[in-house]
Amino acid sequence: MSDEAISPHELDQLIDALADDEAFGEAKELLTEYGQAHYPELKQAIARALQRHPSDQAEDHAVTMELPWILSDVIEDGDDLVEALQPFLQGPNTGLIAIAMDVIVESGDPTLANVLAPLQEDERWVVLRGVRKDYHVGAYAMGALDRLLFQRE
């Protein structure tokens, strides 16, 4: 599949399949494989998915919650990853912000600490799957910075 371009509609359907528990694994694998060969098309499909599935604080959509992880599987360069994560880091959904921070930490690239540092001032509560967590975005960013900068191999 990775060598063949697929239509935007088919790519949108594949992204939407992430919400289906039975199709999730195969959809994620296909999206990752496709994205490695056709990243610009995947990036456009992700932008469309964020418009189709707006996530507010009351409801996180399974599709949008998985997209940062797919990006991390597709993109190897840290700066490119940060650019791809901007819609999640700058969006209104604090749960997606936390997920994007986790993706940055998992990258293991300490040079990306500058992306997390400004988030330390964010006093909004982190809300995941409609449940308010016991910490603010800022506190989560501090923890993410600690994990990123002091990871043990």
Per-residue pLDDT of the chain (153 residues; tens, 9 = 90+): 546 778 999 999 999 999 899 999 999 999 999 999 999 999 999 999 988 877 665 455 778 889 999 999 999 898 899 999 999 999 888 999 999 999 999 999 999 999 999 999 999 999 887 888 999 999 999 999 999 999 755
Determine the residue type at 54. P
Tokens describing residue 95 = 């749960």
Using CA atoms, how far residue 122 sits from 35, 58, 90, 100, 130, in Å, is 32, 19, 11, 15, 19
pTM of the shown model: 0.89
Burial of 81 (0-12, 13-18, 19+ CB in 10 A): buried
Q: How many residues in the chain?
A: 153
